[in-house]
């Protein structure tokens, strides 16, 4: 077994590989140096894994780079693979999410300004999903602190025409007809910063996750609020009890166990670091009804960094590996589902996203 961990930062991409049960890691980089890497995907559907990176160059602008040789070489099309049609009056600011779908060669991209693009050629070219762009709510979507972007894209594992997306600040939206029409899916999500505390849309979602074996159940980390839905986002219930804070960015589901989820709480929106400066991952083994603090090998004090929405992930090994990267440039890994942790690398630039796979 060889594990691959892709680490996107504000100054490029690093790749870590381990061939001995994730006990030791070899790290290479920077790949794509001096670009912001907000989105990563490791597409293992073909004969060889394809790496996809949403890159943002201060000189060349935003785009998508791909590698079919584990980062040895990268390809970027001469023409931008993601571009808004002229009639939209919009320009791509950043790629926030790259998600391979169950259908062969289909890849979705969530971008800023809030829009969804679909690729049918493995991520080489993309087309705007007009149904979401033309939604009547779109003029009322507003930027969150980090921008106005679709950062979560969840294709249904068995229904190709069903797709769930989430954005800041607009909320969760769902389609059952391949993207032609979209319905808001935010009932029960509390919003402290709006006059109407339970609006139809307008929530600042930070991340949504689900397990393919139980696709009707979703988990969400919001701007204040941790939730579970049992009915494919038609309604949401709080599962924040047992966490030291209901604020954070990351929400991750175990690759094999639908009841197991991971979260990294931060103190509050105005204090975006772990409570008491203690680096802690929280795991629930019953879908969020109860939470356990995971601390083995993690800093017990003086940790005033943060973990962003895509800076935590799992691989698909057994036992599963769990990973997270911090805004202070440290990346941590657990080869035993979170019970113990080791530092893979430190002193990197601000970690924006991590993705892992067994190859």
DSSP code string of 50-66: EEEEEEEETTTEEEEEE
Token look-up 């804070």 returns 245
CB 265 within 8 A of CB 221: no
C-alpha 153/C-alpha 286 separation (Å) is 24
For the chain, 359 residues long, give each residue's pLDDT as a single digit of tens.
799 999 999 999 999 999 878 989 999 999 999 999 999 999 998 878 999 999 998 888 899 999 999 999 999 887 889 999 999 999 999 999 999 999 999 999 999 999 999 999 999 999 999 999 999 999 999 888 888 999 999 999 999 999 999 998 899 999 999 999 999 999 999 988 778 889 999 999 999 999 999 999 999 999 999 999 999 999 999 999 999 999 999 999 999 999 999 999 999 878 899 999 999 999 999 999 999 999 999 999 999 999 999 999 999 999 999 999 999 999 999 999 999 999 999 999 999 999 999 99
Q: What angle do CA 179, 250, 239 make, to 5 degrees?
A: 90
CA 262 from centroid of its chain's CA atoms:
13
State the Cα–Cα distance between residues 235 and 227, nearest whole angstrom: 10
Q: Which two tokens stand for residue 42?
A: 């490791």
Strand partners, 333: 323, 342
């Amino acid at each position: 077994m060889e594990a691959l961990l892709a680490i996107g930062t504000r100054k490029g991409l690093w790749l870590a590989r381990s061939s001995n049960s994730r006990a030791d890691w070899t790290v290479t980089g920077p790949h794509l140096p001096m670009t912001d890497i907000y989105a990563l995907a490791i597409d293992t559907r073909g004969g060889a894994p394809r790496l996809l990176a949403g890159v943002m160059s201060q000189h060349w602008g935003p785009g998508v780079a791909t590698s079919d040789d584990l980062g040895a070489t990268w390809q970027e099309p001469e023409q931008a693979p993601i571009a808004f049609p002229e009639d939209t009056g919009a320009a791509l600011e950043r790629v926030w999410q790259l998600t391979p779908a169950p259908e062969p060669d289909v890849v979705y991209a969530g971008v800023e300004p809030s829009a969804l693009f679909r690729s049918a050629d493995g991520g080489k070219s993309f087309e705007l999903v007009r149904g979401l762009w033309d939604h009547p709510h779109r003029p009322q979507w507003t930027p969150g602190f980090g921008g106005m972007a679709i950062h979560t894209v969840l294709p249904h594992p068995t229904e190709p025409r069903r797709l769930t997306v989430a954005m800041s600040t607009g909320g969760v939206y769902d389609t059952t007809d391949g993207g032609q029409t979209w319905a808001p899916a935010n009932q029960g999500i509390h919003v402290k910063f709006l006059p109407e505390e339970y609006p139809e849309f307008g929530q600042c979602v930070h991340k949504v996750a689900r397990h393919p074996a139980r696709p009707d159940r979703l988990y969400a980390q919001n701007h204040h609020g941790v939730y579970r839905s049992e009915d494919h986002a038609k309604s949401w219930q709080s599962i924040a009890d047992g966490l030291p804070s209901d604020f954070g960015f990351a929400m991750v589901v175990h690759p094999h166990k639908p009841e197991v989820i991971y979260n990294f709480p931060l103190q509050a929106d105005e204090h975006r670091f772990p409570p008491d400066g203690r680096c802690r991952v929280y795991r629930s083994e019953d879908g969020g009804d109860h939470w356990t603090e995971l601390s083995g090998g993690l800093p017990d004090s003086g940790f005033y960094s943060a973990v962003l929405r895509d800076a935590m992930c799992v691989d698909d090994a057994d036992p599963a590996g769990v990973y997270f990267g911090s805004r202070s440039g440290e990346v941590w890994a657990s080869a035993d589902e979170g019970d113990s942790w080791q530092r893979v690398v430190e002193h990197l630039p601000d970690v924006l996203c991590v993705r892992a796979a067994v190859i």
